[in-house]
Chains A and B, each alone.
Chain A
Amino acid sequence: MQLRDTPEEAAFRAELREWLAENVPKLPPEPDHSDWPARRAYESAWQALLFEAGYAGINWPVEGGGKGATPGEHLIYLEEASAAKAPEVTVGFVGQMHAGPTIIAEGSPEQKAHHLRGILDGSHVWCQGFSEPEAGSDLAGLRTKAVRDGDDYVVTGQKIWTSNATVADYCEMLVRTDPEAPKHKGITWLIMPMDLPGIEVRPLVTAHGTAEFAELFLDEVRIPVANRIGDENDGWRVANVTLSFERGTGFVGEMLDTTNLMRDLVEIAKVTPKGNGVAWDDPGIRRDLGVLAAELDALWAYTKRNVSAGAKGAMPMGSGSAFKLSYAGVVARLGDLALRILDRASLAMDDIGGQATGAQVHGRLHAFAVSLGGGTSQIQQNIIAERVLGLPRER
């Protein structure tokens, strides 16, 4: 075992750090969290810079146009980008973490040629059309139907929790192509251009007041058969290629940003009046924060363990689920602690008293996105119990 960077890793880190120090300050001020067109422009501009410098698709294979970094270099990238306060990946997440890797793994040469470059250079934004109002945790129960008509699928149905749909160019879609087959066997994976006739996008405002999600209403949308990834009715398998990717390292960049948020909270606690002193004088607050910091340290170590296991073969079954389950708990408890420290300053998601208090309140609400998105914490517990511990299935 080894924690130190190898000489190659150290060189990669030094070069990257220098590049980030030069380029992050060039960025315009970050737009508001709720202004999605502005966010798209901001993030795409950053992605274009990464692309020019050769850092785009850091963990994508070289044949997919990526950097082909080792897993260790990927973690160094995430660590350094977060430390440099480089833009978070939000509108680019689906393309970079789901759609792109799926196309690399399962797409045709034409699909690769048409889509991968746009994801890498920031010119194409993707959204995800998996969940439906009646298919959440039971995703395989999805009903949006696709009927073959010549060279097209005619798609009708409804999708929900579609991140970035208002600003997306393409949607990765799961549709039902065989209603008679067992539910996992009748699903197909399609690429849907968002400018096709018959698509209605209705923004869905979340509990933190932003419209990062939308509902999609699909009325006889004609999607070319050429846009299918994998075989007809093989979409469940194809989708699981991307879901396991998400459970692997999908939350690591976000976890590092949460570590930054925790450090900001300490600075707030040092100046927030409490009793005869400040909040940071309170041993209860300090110890609770110490435990959360320890858990974030542990999760970073867990990430290194999983990523190095992945580099040698495979991540242990269930490790992504255990990581996400633990991380969801940390974000929620950090948010609880933030509200205690903020006291009356927690009454707004706007900054109060010259401190960045708004982000802390926003962070507490965001914790629900972690414990609900990408498989709820309870689904992660079921996965661990059944697939790792071998407890009998209920169904």
Chain B
Amino acid sequence: MDLTLSPEQEALQEMIAGFAADRFEIDTVVRAFGEPGGFDRGAWAELAELGTFGIALPEDQGGVGLGAIDAVLVHEALAAGLVPGPLVAATLAAGLVEGVIDGSVVPALLERPAHGPVVVEHLRDADVLLVLDDDGISKVDAAGLGGTVLPHPTDPITPVTVLDAVPEGERIAGPEVARAWRRLGSLLASAQLVGLSEATTSVAVEYAKERQQFGKPIGTFQGLKHLLADCYMRTEVARSAVWSAGVNLDEPDAGDVDRALASARLMAARAATENGKTGIQVHGGMGFTWEVVAHLYLKRAWVLETQFGNPDDDAELVAAKVAG
């Protein structure tokens, strides 16, 4: 048993975090991705060049040949840097859709809905739409799909399109792949939620050390200290669950994978949304402005919270596992 980072894994996270900070400066590059026509394919290709999307693919498929746990660490660092774009979709599709692994083809991903208007993130900037259902994966050419790009996406960096209908498309993989994508997709969404949890806390802590009221930094006051300590607690508890789930996906005999994934999602979604809210509150009135970054972490968390499941279904699944 060992749930600590190896030196190589520490270096991997530092490399991704460093790249994100250099190439995806939040107030310029990241925010611009959300604007119409703002998806920077050059930056996306540079991200792909690092091996980001092929991290857990075997080397003979052009990947880096590492495990699901390493993909977790990459996605934690990407989200902490608010790196934009269809990160989970690209990581899932890298081994199946040509061009995704090198960033030249941008995918969007959708769970085939049972009913209602179909909401797809990142379709505006995508070349292909991948549709996931119980029977497998289908590929649809994004050009000519139509749909309405909504002018006010909740997360300004995650463009949202509404489709009237989803075409059948071309079946490119069967149920086993769909099942694997759901598992890895859920795990990577959880990993990103952990990254957001930590980053929003760090931003709030720095602000609490600088902002002065009543003649001292507001972080001196226990009212804020306790909010931020809870953020730290939620992040570390969630990170533990997500790392454990990541290792469990690589070692399926070490525990119940679906339970581990659902527990991880519950903890990670809670940490990211609660910490995101605290992040805004700690910034006071400025936290409620478009200009300050605090809202971006919460909004990204809301987007991820409903990818590959939702907290109610996860809670039902864990409860059913406990009940046996």
Residues of A within 8 A of B (CB): 1-6, 9, 72, 75, 262-263, 266, 270, 280, 283, 286-291, 293-295, 297-299, 301-302, 304-305, 307-309, 312, 318-319, 322, 325-326, 378, 380-382, 384-386, 388-394
Contacts and interface: CB of A to CB of B under 8 A. Distances in A.
B315 A2 contact: no
A295 B244 CA distance: 13
Given A305-B3, A318-B232, A391-B225, A2 B237 contact: no
Contact of A308 (B1, B228, B236, B266): B1
B217 to A, nearest CB: 5
Given A3-B254, A290-B315, A381-B222, 9 more contacts: A287-B315, A290-B320, A294-B318, A297-B244, A304-B3, A305-B244, A326-B233, A382-B222, A391-B219
B69 interface: yes
A275 B225 CA distance: 44
A287 B247 contact: no
Contact of B316 (A262, A290, A388): A290
A393 B229 CA distance: 14
Nearest to A288: B315
B168 interface: no
Contacts, number: 187
Interface of B: 1-6, 9, 69, 201, 205, 208-209, 216-217, 219-222, 224-226, 228-230, 232-234, 236-238, 240-241, 243-244, 246-248, 251, 253-255, 259-260, 262-264, 266-267, 270, 311-312, 314-323
Given A3-B244, A301-B241, A301-B244, A380 B229 contact: yes
- 10 smallest CB-CB distances across A and B, nearest first, come from A290-B315, A290-B319, A385-B225, A301-B244, A298-B241, A294-B263, A302-B240, A381-B229, A384-B229, A3-B254
B2 A382 contact: no
B194 to A, nearest CB: 11
Given A290-B315, A302-B237, A305-B240, A388 B232 contact: yes
Contacts of B220: 391-394
A368 to B, nearest CB: 18
Given A298-B240, A301-B241, A391-B209, A1 B247 contact: yes
A283 B316 contact: yes
B315 A294 contact: yes
Contact of B248 (A3, A9, A309, A385): A3
A352 B243 CA distance: 41
Nearest to B254: A3
A144 B33 CA distance: 65
B233 A291 contact: no
Contact of A304 (B1, B217, B323): B1
Contacts of A286: 315-316, 319-320
A309 B4 contact: yes
B314 to A, nearest CB: 7
Contacts of A5: 1
Contact of B241 (A294, A307, A391): A294
B169 to A, nearest CB: 34
Contacts of A2: 1-2, 247, 251
Given A286-B315, A391-B205, A391-B219, A305 B237 contact: no
A270 B321 CA distance: 14
A309 B2 CA distance: 8
A239 B263 CA distance: 37
A1 B266 contact: no
B217 A308 contact: no
B228 A385 contact: yes
Nearest to B244: A301
A304 B255 CA distance: 14
22 contacts: A4-B253, A72-B1, A75-B1, A266-B319, A290-B314, A290-B315, A290-B322, A294-B241, A297-B263, A298-B237, A301-B243, A301-B244, A304-B244, A308-B3, A326-B237, A381-B226, A385-B229, A386-B225, A388-B232, A389-B219, A391-B205, A391-B217
A294 B1 contact: no
A53 B204 CA distance: 52
A280 B316 CA distance: 11
A325 B233 contact: yes
Given A266-B323, A297-B260, A389 B228 contact: yes
B2 A308 contact: yes
A380 B236 CA distance: 14
Contacts of B253: 4
Nearest to A380: B229
Contacts of B9: 1
Contact of A298 (B201, B224, B225, B263): B263
Contact of A392 (B216, B244, B255): B216
B322 A382 contact: no
A247 to B, nearest CB: 13
B322 to A, nearest CB: 5
Nearest to A383: B229
